[in-house]
A = this chain, B = another copy of it.
Amino acid sequence: MPSTTFTYRVRYAETDQMGTYYNARALEWFEMGRTELSRTMGLPYTEWEQRGIFMPLIEASVKYRGRAAYDDLLEMTVSAGVEGRTRLKFSNTVVHAESRRPVCSGWTMHALINREGVPQRIPDWVLALGF
């Protein structure tokens, strides 16, 4: 199963008045993970869209495991696989880069559609990337 790991820092914008990252931002981070992984696999997601394949979320699940404040250095590991003939699933785990303390983890499930919104089977060129 393809996977990649990268680090990033928490933006001030991503914190809230509880002094930790705002819960919805985890999903924004998961999206960064998909972007990084598709690039690592050799075909950035921008090119998927140029080829007419879009990958909207149909489901998301997040477990919040610990705090993360502004400028904390976080490390995400993201992996991906197919689910049947029409869906892709990405799994994300975020920890503090140095202490390895957990921050959040979860997954997103995606349908594949064309420009008109019609569901598509997973194209061969997606499977060929190694999903």
Binding site for B on A (CB under 8 A): 9, 11-13, 15-20, 22-28, 31-32, 35, 44-46, 49, 54, 56-64, 67, 69-71, 108, 117
Contact = CB atoms under 8 A, between A and B. Distances in A.
A62 B59 contact: yes
Contact of A31 (B12, B20, B32): B12
Counted per complex, copies of this chain come to 4
A12 B35 contact: yes
A131 to B, nearest CB: 19
A contact patch SS:
mixed
Given A11-B32, A23-B27, A57-B62, 5 more contacts: A12-B16, A13-B28, A15-B16, A15-B17, A57-B64
A117 B13 CA distance: 20
A53 to B, nearest CB: 12
15 contacts: A11-B32, A13-B16, A13-B22, A15-B16, A17-B19, A17-B20, A18-B54, A24-B24, A24-B26, A46-B71, A49-B70, A57-B64, A59-B64, A60-B61, A61-B61
A24 B28 contact: yes
A23 to B, nearest CB: 5
Nearest to A113: B18
